[in-house]
Amino acid sequence: MSLVAGVKMGVENPEGKGTVRARWNTLDSARSQILNRGRQCAELTIPALLPPAGFTENQELVTPYQGLGARAINNLSSKLLLAMLAPNTPFFKLDLDNQALLQLKDDPDTVSLVASAFAEMERATLKEIEDQGMRVPFALALKYLVVVGYTLMYLPDDGGAITYRPDQFVVVRDPMGNLLEVVIQERIHISLLPPEVQSIAAKSKACDDTVELYTQVKRRKNLMYVVQEACGQTIESSRGTYPVDECPWIAPRWSALAGENYGRGHVEEYIGDIRSSESLTQSIVEGSAAAAKVVFLNNPNGTTNAKKVASAKSGDIVTGNKADIAAMQLDKFNDFKVALEALTRIETAISQAFLLMSSIQRNAERVTAEEIRAMATELENTLGGVYSLLSLELQLPFLKRHMARMRRQSKLPPLPKKLVKPVITTGVDALSRSYELTKIEQFLAGLPPDALARIKWEKYLLRRATALNVDVKDMIKSDEEVAQETQQTMLANMAAQAGPKVAQEITKGAVQNAPQETDPGTHA
C-alpha cells in the first residue's frame, strides 16, 4: 500500500494518547487465538493464504496430503465471484427514492430519461471495474472469507484495490457489528516515505531499507479518521477523513456472530470433516506406499540361492524351489477398504458443502439434467444467509467506494444521496428471482391446454427474463407486432392458395382481349 493521499488535511489524531504501533500491539496480542484458528483452516486447504508467523516467501509451506480442500475453496470462491461480480452483467442498479418516484409518476418521459441515464452510469461503473482489474483482489478476498472468515480490502483514491492478509490488520466493532477501528501493519520501502520521515528513518538503527508502516482508521460519528506512522514518527501528510459510506477500507465477514470482531469461515464449520479427510488420506497414502514396496523373503533352510535369483535376468533359469522365496504381503486389504469407504463418505459431504459438481450427481445409471439442476439449486440456497451478509458488508461498500472514486475523477456525475441509492441485484435478490421463476413454471406446468390460451405470453416472457436478470427489451415482440405479423401471414397464405387460379384467369382474359393479327396477303 502506498501512503494515503488525496484526503482532507488538518484533522487531529483520533487516537490522542499513545502511538499507532502501541495500539497495534494491544489489538494484535488480543487476537492471537483467532489467527491460530485461521492458520489451522488454511493449513488443511491452501496454506499460502495464511502462513505461519514469521514466514517468508523463500520458505516452503507444509503440503496437505489431500487436495480436496484446495479444490473446494477454489470452486466455492469462483462460484461466489461469478454470482457477485458476473462478467458483463451489472451486479447492481440505481433506484430512485419512493418519494421521487411518486413525484414523477405522472411524467413517464422523465422516468424513461432517468432510467436511461442510470443504465448508462451502471455500464460505465462496470466497465471501470473491469478496466482496473478489480476482479483479482475481489476473488482473493472471497478466498479469505471462505477459509478464514474475514478480510480487509483497500481501494485507494488513484484506483485499483489491495486485499490484505488476515495477519496484517486488526479490527474493532461495536455490538451491532459496525466497523469502529482498523489498524494495519505492513512493510514498505523507505523511498516511499515523505522526506522528513526518510531522514529520521535513515538515522534510526532500527530501520533498514524497508520499514514498518502503521495505518489507523477510526470512526467518529459519520467520519472515518486516518493517520499513519513509520519509525515512531507520525506522517502528518497522511491525516485525513472519509465519509463512512465512502471509506476506502472494507472489512467484510463470512459470518457475523454477536460480540465477535472477526468472522468465522466456511472451512471452520466443516473443519472436522476436513481433518478426517486429511488423516485418512495420509494413512491410505502411507499404507499404499508400504504395500507397493516389493520385498522377497528367503527361507534360510532352503536350497535356492538368493543371490542368483536377485541377479538373474528376465527369462533366466535358476535352480531352486519356489517355496524358498516368497513376496512379503501386508494382508491389509480389508482394513484399507474400510478406510477408503469412510474417506469416500467424508469427501462427498465436503464436496456438497462447498458446491462441487461431483457431489451433486448421484451414483446411478440414469440421472436427469433436471435432477442435477434441482440438487444444485438446493445446495446453493444454503448460502442465502452468506449472500445477505456479503451484500451488506462487501458488495455495497465496494460499489459505493468505487463510484465515489469515479465521481472524484469526473467519470460519473454527482448524485443526490437522499434520492438515488444503489441496490445490489445479485445474491439474495437473485435467489428470490429464482424462487419466483420456479413458482411460475410450476403454475404453467399444471394448467390444461385450454387454459394456456388465457395466458398473456408477453407478460410471461418479461417476468421470466426479469427472473433470469436478462435484458430482452429489444427481443420480445409486442402484442400489436404479433397480431400484425399474423395478419400478414394469413394474407400471404391466402394469396399462395389462390395464386394458380388467379393466374389462369388473368392468362385467359389476356388471350381473349389480345388483338387478332391478319394475313397481309388477304388484306383488301
Q: What is the pLDDT of residues 361-377, one digit of tens each?
A: 555 556 565 555 665 56
Cα–Cα dist 58/282, whole Å: 26
> What is the model's pLDDT at position 375?
56
Phi, psi (rounded to 5 degrees) for 297: -105, 135
Strands 233-243 and 420-424: unpaired
Per-residue burial over 465-490, b if 16 or more Cβ lie within 10 Å, else e, is bebebeeeeeeeeeeeeeeeeeeeee
> What is the model's pLDDT at position 468?
67
311 contacts 320 by C-beta, under 8 angstroms: no
Interacting residues of 21 by C-beta distance below 8 A, sequence separation 6+: 212, 214, 229, 232
Please name the residue that has the C-alpha cell 441496490.
423
DSSP string spanning 370-403? HHHHHHHHHHHHTTHHHHHHHIIIIIHHHHHHHH
Please name the residue that has the C-alpha cell 424513461.
112
Strands 223-230 and 210-220: antiparallel
> What is the model's pLDDT at position 161?
94
> What is the model's pLDDT at position 13?
42
Cα–Cα dist 155/217, whole Å: 14
263 contacts 255 by C-beta, under 8 angstroms: yes
> What is the model's pLDDT at position 373?
60
Task: Report the candidate in 459, 473, 468 with the shortest Cα–Cα distance to residue 438.
Answer: 468
Q: Is the dihedral of CA 373, 376, 382, 385 positive or negative?
A: negative
Write out residues in the chain with pLDDT < 50, as ranges.
6-17, 510-511, 520, 522-524
> What is the model's pLDDT at position 371?
57
Task: Report the candidate in 514, 411, 337 with the shortest Cα–Cα distance to residue 131.
Answer: 411
- In this structure, how many other beta carbons lie within 10 angstroms of the beta carbon of residue 119? 14
Interacting residues of 425 by C-beta distance below 8 A, sequence separation 6+: 90, 91, 92, 93, 469
183 contacts 215 by C-beta, under 8 angstroms: yes
What letter does residue 522 receive in the DSSP assignment?
Answer: G
Q: Give the angle subtended at the CA of 94 by the CAs of 88 and 96, to the nearest 5°.
A: 160
Q: Please name the amino acid found at residue 78.
A: S
Q: What is the pLDDT of residues 148-171, one digit of tens each?
A: 999 999 999 988 999 999 999 999
